[in-house]
Structure 1
Amino acid sequence: MSYVIGIDLGTSAVKVLLVDKNGTVAGEASRSYPLFHEHTGWSEQRADDWVEGTVEALRELTSAAGIDAGKIEGISFSGQMHGLVLLDGDGNPIRNAILWNDTRTTGQCRDIEQKLGDKLLSITRNPALEGFTLPKILWVRENEPEAFAKAKLFLLPKDYLRYRLTGELHMDYSDAAGTLLLDVAGKAWSGEVLEAFELPASFCPPLVESHGLVGNLLPEFIESTGLPATTKVFAGGADNACGAIGSGILSEGLTLCSIGTSGVILSYENDKSKDFAGKVHFFNHGKEDSFYVMGVTLAAGYSLSWFKKTFAPNESFDQLLEGVGGVKPGAGGLLFTPYLVGERTPHPDSVIRASFIGIDGSHERIHFARAVMEGITFSLNESVDMFRKAGKKVDTIISIGGGAQNPVWLQMQADIFDAKVVSLANEQGPGLGAAMLAAYGSEWFESLEACADKFVKHAESYSPNPEAVAAYAGIFNVYQQVYEQTKSLNEALAPYRG
């Protein structure tokens, strides 16, 4: 049996998956690495920690019992988006990588908006947010001029890892779309943006498709990983793009709902001219000449984790949610907005905070638990609502993450989204998407869709209940008013936060 490997370079750990031609995961290994928070709002990692962790995980995978490493044909990558790795003329990092969740660049974001104006959205299709890469580049130039003077080129995290393994410099379109330097529709580095910030074209690596063959392993890594010299290396994609591939989001009408610590609603898009006015992210897909739109809820699963930690620290999630299915939609008139750490879509607001609205003496803990689940789903539905208003079809939603572990929550999603919701039998996330890019690149399949037919396996399906859909439509209308009604109150309370 032949194999491919998907390498998922996450924020806290790298995970490697060994997948056979049937889409079965034959092995997996992972390694964690540290995060550095030198100052409030800073988040950095040592780029070579990614390399060392990946090599160790690959060695564990290839040396496992029953695995014939000689049958591994290709590897590809999924990576945390937006992180900045600056290389000197010798190809070495000049400082630690600045990660996607680093928030030091607010001033640079305002500078980008002022300098580019309307061109920002027309070219990059996304607003200037602290997590993106260009603001980080400008921050280093302004605050660490001696270090920046050494910088000759920038990479994103997975691209640095792949560069170290192969010696080849590339970046795929799906990851490049999160830099604010790419002409997303034109699939090229934007000369206008580069010129506006006095960055040379040579500062950007060559662009390549996610399934593109970019080389082979360097001799030193053939030995240290245990992979055969014939292993083909493919570019890979951004974690969200690979998560979409690994969930089969490869055609119009298919949408992904992922509830982890944060929450993501991601929908396939094949019209590069579709305009969402920057209200949702618009990125290149890992599927060639395709795109996806995406909304983000900052505190999705985190809201439920907070609720459990605060009100039921000694109970399991199953115990906490026992009986939640017996509470009718609307939680007895109790509404929760999941703004515990601010919000992203459709309100990019770091000051707004969460609310429970409508508490009365009849409410018990189970009502609060249901309201938290509903509030998280309402927040995600803000993105679904914007997609539909822009003319997108959203009729089937693949649900993954914590929200897919509870049947009551899956039915709730179907009712609030008013769409069929499907869970997966083999949920592996971005790592599986990376493996699928390697399988497609290795010509196992004629298309990513054919690969998904084999690799992505559906489990349970949930259809919307018309009565619940009607009830939730009314409650969602109320939910959408809470942000504006509480915005000024939260701004007034902000100085009193610890």
Structure 2
Amino acid sequence: MHFLGIDLGSSSIKLSVLDAEKGDIIATVSVPDSEMDIIAPKFGWAEQDPNLWWNYVKSGISQLGQKHSVDLKRIAGIGIAYQMHGLVLTDAQLNPIRPSIIWCDSRAAEIGDSIYDLIGHQNAQSIILGSPGNFTASKLKWVKDNEPEAFAKAAYFMLPGDFIAAKLSGKAQTSTSGLSEAALWNFSKGRLATEVLEAMELPTNLVPEIVANFGQQADINPVVASELGLSPTVKITYRAGDQPNNALSLNVLKPGEIATTAGTSAVVYAVSDNDTYDANNRINTFLHVNNTESEKRNGVMLCINGSGILYQWLRRIMSAGSNELISYEKLNAEAAKAPVGSEGLRFYPFGNGVERIFNNKPATSGIQNLNFNIHQSPHLVRSACEGIVFAMNYGFDVMKSVGASGTVVRAGKANLFLSPVFREIFANTTQTTVELYNTAGADGAARGAAYGYGYYKSLDEAFDSLKCLERIEPTTALSQQYAEIYQNWKNTI
């Protein structure tokens, strides 16, 4: 029996197929061939077309069958991971009525702040463990206030992965953890945060059917199944935001376990059994995928917006004048040529919208101490890696202050964690052991689908075949060096 995992990112969409009997991922594709465009009609805005996501998903499924010889009829269940905090508005026929306002769009930050003041800070923290911030609910309120004609056409609001599930099944649904990502989950009552909807003057009828993260959520639409070459008995059995799902893919499910990733954005995500929050909203708490009424599991998360997107920027800049972009492997090799500390060059990776660690205030990137006689491209790339890790550690310090910490951090061997230099900087700056695994978000979504379907009886069984590839331990000498460099970097934020 096979299970399909879909990971809807803002740069690409990845799909993986799990052979559940063997416990192995047998095929993976990424679409499109180049990175997806982010539309920015105004400063601080970021949008994407949901119909393009759907077209890429269909293309990816076709490639699995045609290029990888996957028997699509053997797929029994589908799991979906997706970029968090986006807003998709559809009509009753599930057609988008405007582009999706995605996670790094900053336009609704002021609305979130005003609603936070209206509800009362302590009251909001007791309900949603923080501020509505720049999350999905605030984006929905922005559309109501600024695009009333579009809002009037809306039958449902969904998160990006909910939209893909709806296109597969014909049913509008969202999950409990998805509502927590949208700042619409009442943690103290275990229900929809109607208090936030009322404060925003938003109708509850826009909220689709609420389902658990795991379970037989919906059947595939037979017409869609025929179009895609899938069995008409396929079920949607799992959905989650990309960071809870990344933690799942690394088998990070218990209190004290920590996952990290450094894709377009950089994230550290710790599992807690408490309703933990930061009074200054520099980090956020969401329902983890395995939360239940009897066993509380939350994900405490820090996010740095400018991570892989900074690496993409460097790649373009350093490829200027060439007919093709240099590879990320070349960037990683360049970073290794510069010494620890990049000979004083400091990079601040804050150039992709408002930053949560600065309480959703606009922040811009910057380079300090540049010396034209000393610094070359290796220094620039290494200082970018150091700056990304330092920004992550700044948030990690906040997580530690609220009790969400640990000494081992798990990561997929992907994106920036492919760089030995980045891994060294991370382990020694955070003073944690980094465990690397050969897994990715689409792989985790496929395993989640198998568990949600009921093929695996426990999540431990679903991840029994997951093996650690490599452990990077911090060293005393390097940790001391990075501690001093980090402190200097932090003092000039």
- Identify the TM-score tier after normalising by the shorter chain: 0.7 to 0.9
Which protein is bigger by CA-based radius of gyration? 1
Q: Give the 3 Å change call, closer, same or farther, for CA 123–232 of structure 1 in structure 2.
A: same
Deviations 1:33-57 (A, max 9, x none): 7654444444334433333332343
Residue 5 of structure 1 pairs with residue 4 of structure 2:
yes
The alignment of Structure 1 onto Structure 2 pairs a total of residues equal to 478
How many Å separate the matches in 2 of 1:99 and 1:308? 23
How many Å separate the matches in 1 of 2:102 and 2:351? 21
CA contact (8 A) 2:5 2:79 kept: yes
How many Å separate the matches in 2 of 1:287 and 1:207? 16
How many Å separate the matches in 2 of 1:449 and 1:19? 16
Q: Give the 3 Å change call, closer, same or farther, for CA 186–244 of structure 1 in structure 2.
A: farther
CA contact (8 A) 1:15 1:30 kept: yes
Q: Give the 3 Å change call, closer, same or farther, for CA 278–169 of structure 1 in structure 2.
A: same
Shift, 1:211, TM fit: 1.0
Alignment partner of 1:160 out of 137, 146, 163:
163
Shift, 1:6, TM fit: 0.5
Q: What's 1:147 paired with? A: 150
Q: What's 1:199 paired with? A: 202
Q: TM-score with structure 1 length normalisation?
A: 0.86
What letter matches 1:98 in structure 2?
A: I
Shift, 1:342, TM fit: 6.1
Q: What's 1:251 paired with? A: 254
Deviations 1:74-113 (A, max 9, x none): 1111122222222344554433333223333344234323
Q: Give the 3 Å change call, closer, same or farther, for CA 71–301 of structure 1 in structure 2.
A: closer
How many Å separate the matches in 2 of 1:355 and 1:64? 44
User: Where does structure 1 lack aligned partners over 5 or more consecutive residues?
Assistant: 484-498
What letter matches 2:424 in structure 1?
A: Q
Q: What's 2:128 paired with? A: 124
Q: What's 2:433 paired with? A: 420
Q: What's 1:476 paired with? A: 486
Helix, strand or coil for the counterpart of 2:427? helix
Deviations 1:128-167 (A, max 9, x none): 433x212222222122223322333322222122123223
Residue 356 of structure 1 pairs with residue 355 of structure 2:
no
Q: Give the 3 Å change call, closer, same or farther, for CA 36–325 of structure 1 in structure 2.
A: closer
What letter matches 1:14 in structure 2?
A: I
Residue 295 of structure 1 pairs with residue 302 of structure 2:
yes
How many Å separate the matches in 2 of 1:187 and 1:328? 51
Q: What's 2:72 paired with? A: 69
What letter matches 1:121 in structure 2?
A: Q
Alignment partner of 2:476 out of 460, 466, 475:
466
How many Å separate the matches in 2 of 1:413 and 1:107? 33
Q: What's 1:496 paired with? A: none
Helix, strand or coil for the counterpart of 2:214? coil
CA contact (8 A) 2:335 2:382 kept: yes
What letter matches 2:302 in structure 1?
A: G
What letter matches 1:24 in structure 2?
A: D
How many Å separate the matches in 2 of 1:305 and 1:52? 24
Residue 378 of structure 1 pairs with residue 390 of structure 2:
yes
Shift, 1:335, TM fit: 3.4
Helix, strand or coil for the counterpart of 2:357? coil
How many Å separate the matches in 2 of 1:342 and 1:43? 9
Q: What's 2:406 paired with? A: 394
How many Å separate the matches in 1 of 2:146 and 2:333? 52
How many Å separate the matches in 1 of 2:226 and 2:363? 51
Q: What's 2:288 paired with? A: 285
Q: Give the 3 Å change call, closer, same or farther, for CA 476–272 of structure 1 in structure 2.
A: same
Shift, 1:227, TM fit: 1.2
How many Å separate the matches in 2 of 1:318 and 1:28? 21
How many Å separate the matches in 2 of 1:80 and 1:341? 15
How many Å separate the matches in 1 of 2:63 and 2:156? 32
CA contact (8 A) 2:94 2:170 kept: no
Alignment partner of 1:346 out of 357, 361, 369:
357
Helix, strand or coil for the counterpart of 1:212? strand
What letter matches 1:262 in structure 2?
A: S
How many Å separate the matches in 1 of 2:59 and 2:338? 48
Q: What's 2:457 paired with? A: 446
Helix, strand or coil for the counterpart of 2:400? helix
Helix, strand or coil for the counterpart of 2:471? strand
Helix, strand or coil for the counterpart of 1:86? strand
Greater mean deviation of Cα atoms: 393-402 or 75-84: 393-402
What letter matches 1:127 in structure 2?
A: S
Deviations 1:314-343 (A, max 9, x none): 665555554755755434444333234466
Q: Give the 3 Å change call, closer, same or farther, for CA 404–71 of structure 1 in structure 2.
A: same
How many Å separate the matches in 2 of 1:95 and 1:321? 39
Helix, strand or coil for the counterpart of 1:248? coil
CA contact (8 A) 1:268 1:291 kept: yes
Shift, 1:462, TM fit: 0.8
Q: TM-score with structure 2 length normalisation?
A: 0.87
Greater mean deviation of Cα atoms: 72-81 or 113-122: 113-122
Residue 55 of structure 1 pairs with residue 55 of structure 2:
no
What letter matches 1:478 in structure 2?
A: N
CA contact (8 A) 2:104 2:352 kept: no
Deviations 1:353-407 (A, max 9, x none): 3232485966555444433322221111112222222223321112343322122
